Amino acid sequence: MTTAETPQHIAIIMDGNGRWAQSRGLPRVVGHRAGAAAIRPVLERAEQLGVKVLTLYSFSSENWNRPTAEVDALMALCCEKLAQERAGLIESGIRLRRIGSRTGLPAEVLRELDITEAATAGGRNITLALALNYGSRGEITDALRAIATRVAAGEITAAQVTEDLVSSSLYTSDLPDPDLLIRTGGQMRLSNYLLWQLSYAEILFSNTLWPDFSPDDLCAAVDDFAHRKRTFGGIATETSAQSIPVGSHCVEQGGLS
């Protein structure tokens, strides 16, 4: 189902894997594995709801600061999951897109990403954008450097540096801005995620740890979004948002905690 109130692009900060594992007396990496397993059902529900892009924060440019063993386990998990899921993504018409810097990512990870991106390029049902080795400040800096180079070369003038040009110089050039940001795991911060693109996103913080985040939680978030009044700096007018029955996006109400 797609309604005018369905967010076209949902961005998620999948936080809480480590605490999920630690609260069970398990190593953090077990939490990452459980977190990876939580992705597919949420992605499928997003597609059913009519969401066109789901962007998942999978590894930040600051996550290199973690112990080497955890970083290595995350990279290995990424390779394993891409190889395992590729055929299913193709079959389900899901297009995979990588956003982030290639610099620093292990060759095997880049290889799996490149193969999966190429193999799923024809997917039309939903785009899964994986933010991997992603940092928003680095992204904006790279974009500004590319634009400055073009100005210095006389290719464009300073007056031609517009918001549209900046947007189209980011990793996300072919993606719409997110309508809804969900951060799981209880922290209320952006952690260097999509700082430019989230300018007018609705934000929802959930206390649920990512491995426990279910398709019904996604439904509840989409339903919450449908009842927000987005004014984009203008003033509120009577919108259809008020007439949408609560729970209209959810067959079963999961509810956000």
The footprint of ligand IPE on residues 179-198 (CB under 6 A) is 185, 187, 189, 191
- The distance of closest approach from Cβ of residue 177 to ligand IPE in the complex, given in angstroms and rounded to an integer, is 19
Which CB atom, from 187 or from 240, has the smaller least distance to ligand IPE? 187
Show the tokens assigned to 29: 């990496």
Would you call 17 a catalytic residue per the annotation? no
| Residues β-bridged to residue 95 | 127
Is 58 one of the binding residues for ligand IPE (CB under 6 A)? yes
| Residues β-bridged to residue 10 | 54, 180
Q: Which residue has the tokens 């189902």?
A: 1
> Pick from Mg ion, ligand IPE, none: which does 19 bind, CB < 5 to 8 A by kind?
ligand IPE
CA distances from 171 to 45, 165, 167, 208 (A): 25, 12, 9, 29
| Residues β-bridged to residue 126 | 94
> Pick from ligand IPE, Mg ion, none: which does 61 bind, CB < 5 to 8 A by kind?
none
Looking at 17, 63, 125, 177, which residue is catalytic? 63
Where is 151: in which H helix or E strand?
A: helix 136-152
Residues 6+ apart with CB under 8 A from 212: 16, 20, 38
Nearest CA to 196 out of 132, 144, 231, 128 is that of 144
The footprint of Mg ion on residues 148-187 (CB under 5 A) is none
- The distance of closest approach from Cβ of residue 65 to Mg ion in the complex, given in angstroms and rounded to an integer, is 12
Q: What mask of x and - would describe binding to Mg ion in positions 1 to 30, judged by CB under 5 A? A: --------------x---------------
Residue 192's CB is within 10 A of a number of other CB atoms, namely 16
Nearest CA to 73 out of 15, 27, 114 is that of 27
Q: Which stretch binds ligand IPE (CB under 6 A): 11-19, 105-113, 199-207, 233-241?
A: 11-19
Which CB atom, from 7 or from 16, has the smaller least distance to ligand IPE? 16
The footprint of ligand IPE on residues 111-150 (CB under 6 A) is none
How far apart, in whole angstroms, are the C-alpha atoms of residue 95 and residue 89? 7
Q: Which stretch binds ligand IPE (CB under 6 A): 10-18, 85-93, 136-144, 216-224?
A: 10-18
Would you call 63 a catalytic residue per the annotation? yes
Residue 191 CA, distance from chain mean position: 13
Which CB atom, from 14 or from 147, has the smaller least distance to ligand IPE? 14
Show the tokens assigned to 24: 């069970």
Q: Which residues are catalytic?
A: 15, 63
Would you tell me which residues interact with ligand IPE (CB under 6 A)? Answer: 13-19, 57-60, 63, 74, 185, 187, 189, 191
Would you tell me which residues interact with Mg ion (CB under 5 A)? Answer: 15
